[in-house]
Structure 1
Amino acid sequence: MLTFRPRSTIDPPSPWFRAWRMATMLLLLGWTTGCASLPANTNRVASTAFAQPEETALGQLTVARRAQAGARSDSAFHLLSDVDAALAARIALIDDAQRTLDLQYYAIHADASTEVLLQGLRNAARRGVRVRILLDDFNSVGKDTQVLRLAFEPNVQMRLFNPIPGSRQNMVGRILTSLDDVAGMQKRMHNKLFIADNAWGVTGGRNLGDVYFGAGDKQNFVDLDVLAAGRIVRDMSASFDRFWNDELAYPVQTLLSPEDLDKLRKPEAPASAPGGTAAGVTPAAAASLPVTVSPTVIPSVSPAAVARADRAPLDLRTLSLTWAPSILLADKPGKIGPGDDEVNAGETAIDGLLSLMQQAHHDVLIISPYFVPGEQMMAVYRQLRQRGVRMRVLTNSLASNDAPAAHAGYARYRQPLLDMGVELYEMRSAPETAAKLAGSGGGTHQGSGGWMGSGVGGSKGGTSRASLHSKVVIIDGYYAVIGSMNLDLRSQLKNSEVGLVIRSPALAQQATAHAENTLATAAYRLERKDGHLYWRAPPGAGFADASSEPEASTKLKLLVKLLGPLAPDQML
């Protein structure tokens, strides 16, 4: 029964204990649970992206930057390869937006980094910007439900996609009250889009929360986004509109009220700081919060988070841009609608990516945190290897993976992949890896140094473990594919995904250089030694080889062995 649980975005403190506790509860209590139901999807009014982006300052900036560059391509890109740049880009889009802000995410966590962005969205709405936020419903439980208070702000519209009926107190309660529709619970909107004025936008692997911006206290995700401008953003907006106007998108007000959110708030109030404000909230930040949203929506806005927001924002007028041809790979909402996946979805984003990979001539580099190929993908990899195409895969080690069940699925394929000549690398989880890879760009916002920059922006004491979360495919050093999709069956069959295919040797080489830095300094290469797997550390990397899952506890290794025979690939 454990395999029916969609992947969480954050690793629980004791995964082996939580997993078996959940399995026991499902087996012993599930049959006694009543079936909850959703209300009618009322008050859902269709709307679309702003139709004249060229009338806004951001649209005019795109035209001016293109003319200045003398570019023939109509779209421009900039890799956001450190956490400060990723946060600053979103703040810049909020600050510069004049007409619309459209956000589509799998998860938005109630923490300090998110509060900085939410306050920016509130301020934008007050100055007349229409804000639309589309959020997958699965993670809107516990303290993260408080993010939904933004739905009750003037000029803000917020919808939950494919909502799950029942309790929002915690994840176990949600699952227990939804056992009558396990198939529907598995289908999640995994897209990530952040769009301003239909002129500039961000997509990639990041959700919104501390762990995605280098400020997690236990874990930091190593991630990658791309900032886009020009024609391709209109394609991103069209994808957003398809989901926003779909019948599975429920206005928050249809599902719960401010009073419901009050009941879900933790009863303990945060300690007061001198001056009567909530602990960690500066007086200026507290004063700017609206009456309808208490400062305790996010229990603590840390001074460090406020300081990061106060840094010089990304300057879109001078930021380096790469002008290049591009297309958008985007699933349709029907992929996660009721009924059979293939009937509703047609060709998926993953199918398009696999077709592109099959055109490779000499090299494919895959960065995928969850890597459970399945037979169709394995057949593609086999064909590529038979043609002499070099294939390298960077994924999570067991210790760095936030989803042990997914690692159990991946482990089945390691030996066959090595047999066909695929080079497998697994990223370390050690805190020094997080410090090296999930860090701040030192205020330059140019992404220099490491896959994710240098140093950790706001991480607590350098003790947070690293977890790979970037989703990138580089083909022949010519195409860069960056988006929300993993190379696994969940992304292919269960989740909706979105990603950019950018035809640019310069951008592809930039992404490759970052990835190869990780391979050379913070990842093990898998080999066979005496008939067994062996984890080889890079020369001079400062950490040792390993003969079993490196840095993983005995309990975690045991959990994966127990899960292995029980976990269907397509549910991982």
Structure 2
Amino acid sequence: MALISRYRDFTANWQPDLSRRVLLVFITGLIAGCTSKPEQWLDKTSLILPDTYLGQVYLIPDAPSALAHRIEAVRESQAYIEAEYFSWAGDVSGMTLWQELRAAADRGVKVRIIVDDLLFFDDKWLVDIDTHPNLSIKIFNPFNARKLGWLTRAADFEMHRDKLNHRLHEKYFNVDGEVMILGGRNIGDDYFGYSPKANFFDLDVMVKGEVITEYEHNFDNLWASQLTVPVSEVIGFNPKKHSGSFDKAHDKVMSENRPLQESISRKVSALPTPEYIGASLTPIFDSAHKGTDSQSYLRKRIEHLANVNQWPVEELFLSTPYMIESDEHQALFSGLAEREVEVTVLTNSVASNDSPFASAYYQAYRPALMAKGIHIYEYDSHALHYSNFYNANAYYHNKAFIADNTMSFIGSSNFDPRSDMTNLELGLLIESQVFATELKTYLLGSHKDKFWLVSQGEGENYVWSKQGERTGKEPRMKSDNRFINSFYRMLKIQNEL
């Protein structure tokens, strides 16, 4: 369910204070009866093979560059900008991008933004931006509770669970149909290397070519659907009282973070010209019907493409922040093992996972993965990325796979039941050996110092090794986590994560 699975997305930078513990208690109570799993079925029309286009792709090399490329694209915009995200923080990165979008709107550029409602409450400044004649914001699947914080929202969720469980998890940024950015990043300091508390290791790909029109159609359909509501209809706004609230919120954030502003400005000024790679590009989408039938459209469409084109044959290289067991995933790994496909998984360690629930269930799932001969690399919570402004605690957030060193997938979807059956997701299949090699280097080849390789030890024990360091215990896991993780697993909520 959303309130627990996205706990991992919005508490990454929280300190373990009273508010976090209270929220955890409420969420745990809500999910106890929330473990039903729908029967899987898809009609034949849902598995029609999508068109493939020739285009160009560029893998953004680091987190600060990912924000800088968005800013640069906005400044070069001529006609329109459209974007959709699960979360968009009101921090330096988030406010900087909002300011740039408003400046583009001042020049006559038409801006449309869709954001999920889980992390927005009574934010008057969001409506204040929307009052601009060229800038429109819609909220996906809005909550009814907007005030008094998470306690009232949790109650709202409990009363309207079937509807509010479905969240928008797509990440998409398109400028003029000329350049598009896809990947796993949300908008916020922790996704661009600017958080002093914790940062995500994530990825984005910049795309050029006719394939962008398919994503525009997907955006238009969502914009016109009943799932999205104008922000002015969701958040109460009094022009006399709240006009100028964005400028106040923006100026307050910026006045407290001058060094970050200067770093962002320098990064934009020093951006190199992207070196694009030619590739065959296939768009992959979920269906808006997922909000009522809870079917795994995106995953089934990828599997159908793989079966028709007979890949992978030799190797599957899978990157996911959350590795949660499901019958479908077990069947996939069993089939790959029977075909003797070599499988490598990159994911969070128990300590580096920003979701305590996901780490608990992954910990129990790991023996089954190891038994199938899967190679596992777990991200170190103390990994350092020297391109970041702050090197703080680290979380792994890359969502991708590479099949046979040729076919790559980059998108918003995690390898968990929630991405399969509940949230709206999207992605891009990229057929290029050159790009696949570059992506694998980005994920692991140039970052091996940031991962623990898990291997079988004596009996049922495991050994974690990294750059000559070896340990027979979960790296950096706190002692009390063993009891806590056991408690989480007793809830049997893996189908909601």
Whether the TM-score (by the shorter chain) exceeds 0.5 is: yes
Between 1:508-517 and 1:487-496, the stretch displaced more is 508-517
Instruction: Report the counterpart of residue 75 of structure 2 in structure 1.
Output: 95
AA matched with 2:228:
A
- Distance (Å, rounded) in 1 between the aligned partners of 2:200 and 2:168: 20
Preserved CA contact (<8 Å) 1:16 1:559: no
- Is residue 488 of structure 2 the alignment partner of residue 569 of structure 1? no
Q: 1:117-132 counterparts in 2 under 5 A?
A: 117-132=97-112
Q: 1:407-486 counterparts in 2 under 5 A?
A: 407-430=359-382, 433=383, 435-436=384-385, 455-459=386-390, 462=391, 464-486=392-414
Change in 2 beyond 3 A, CA 1:25/1:262: farther
- Is residue 213 of structure 2 the alignment partner of residue 234 of structure 1? yes
Tell me the CA shift for residue 146 of structure 1: 4.1
Q: 1:300-357 CA deviation, whole Å, 9 max, x = no partner?
A: 2222332234236389994211111111111122212xx3323xxxx61122233455
- Distance (Å, rounded) in 1 between the aligned partners of 2:442 and 2:177: 29
SS at match of 2:351: coil
Change in 2 beyond 3 A, CA 1:554/1:2: farther
Between 1:502-511 and 1:324-333, the stretch displaced more is 324-333
- Distance (Å, rounded) in 1 between the aligned partners of 2:302 and 2:457: 33
- Distance (Å, rounded) in 1 between the aligned partners of 2:2 and 2:85: 25
Change in 2 beyond 3 A, CA 1:356/1:314: farther
Tell me the CA shift for residue 185 of structure 1: 2.4
Instruction: Report the counterpart of residue 333 of structure 1 in structure 2.
Output: 288
- Is residue 439 of structure 2 the alignment partner of residue 516 of structure 1? no
Change in 2 beyond 3 A, CA 1:356/1:397: farther
Between 1:184-193 and 1:171-180, the stretch displaced more is 171-180
- Is residue 329 of structure 2 the alignment partner of residue 377 of structure 1? yes
Preserved CA contact (<8 Å) 2:145 2:152: yes
Instruction: Report the counterpart of residue 258 of structure 2 in structure 1.
Output: 303
AA matched with 2:7:
R
Preserved CA contact (<8 Å) 1:369 1:396: yes
AA matched with 2:439:
A
Tell me the CA shift for residue 17 of structure 1: 6.6
Instruction: Report the counterpart of residue 299 of structure 2 in structure 1.
Output: 350
- Distance (Å, rounded) in 1 between the aligned partners of 2:228 and 2:58: 31
- Distance (Å, rounded) in 1 between the aligned partners of 2:240 and 2:154: 19
Stretches of structure 1 that go unaligned for 5 or more consecutive residues are 31-71, 264-289, 437-454
Change in 2 beyond 3 A, CA 1:12/1:557: farther
- Distance (Å, rounded) in 2 between the aligned partners of 1:300 and 1:3: 27
Tell me the CA shift for residue 140 of structure 1: 0.9
- Distance (Å, rounded) in 2 between the aligned partners of 1:557 and 1:122: 48
Preserved CA contact (<8 Å) 2:58 2:277: yes
Change in 2 beyond 3 A, CA 1:180/1:363: same
Instruction: Report the counterpart of residue 22 of structure 2 in structure 1.
Output: 21
Between 1:160-169 and 1:97-106, the stretch displaced more is 160-169
Instruction: Report the counterpart of residue 192 of structure 1 in structure 2.
Output: 171
Tell me the CA shift for residue 295 of structure 1: 3.0
Change in 2 beyond 3 A, CA 1:507/1:531: same
Stretches of structure 2 that go unaligned for 5 or more consecutive residues are 32-51
SS at match of 1:202: strand
Between 1:354-363 and 1:197-206, the stretch displaced more is 354-363
Normalised TM-score (structure 2)? 0.87
Between 1:164-173 and 1:243-252, the stretch displaced more is 164-173
AA matched with 1:372:
I
Instruction: Report the counterpart of residue 128 of structure 2 in structure 1.
Output: 149
- Distance (Å, rounded) in 2 between the aligned partners of 1:29 and 1:316: 46
Preserved CA contact (<8 Å) 1:12 1:18: no
- Distance (Å, rounded) in 1 between the aligned partners of 2:16 and 2:328: 30
Tell me the CA shift for residue 179 of structure 1: 1.1
Q: 1:109-157 CA deviation, whole Å, 9 max, x = no partner?
A: 0000111111100100000001101001111137x77445322223110
Between 1:195-204 and 1:520-529, the stretch displaced more is 520-529
Instruction: Report the counterpart of residue 503 of structure 1 in structure 2.
Output: 431
- Distance (Å, rounded) in 1 between the aligned partners of 2:225 and 2:337: 41
Q: 1:251-302 CA deviation, whole Å, 9 max, x = no partner?
A: 0011113349979xxxxxxxxxxxxxxxxxxxxxxxxxx9463233463222
Preserved CA contact (<8 Å) 1:167 1:177: no
AA matched with 1:9:
D
Tell me the CA shift for residue 188 of structure 1: 0.8
Preserved CA contact (<8 Å) 2:463 2:472: yes
Q: Percent identity?
A: 26
Instruction: Report the counterpart of residue 7 of structure 1 in structure 2.
Output: 7
Change in 2 beyond 3 A, CA 1:313/1:24: closer
- Distance (Å, rounded) in 1 between the aligned partners of 2:447 and 2:337: 21
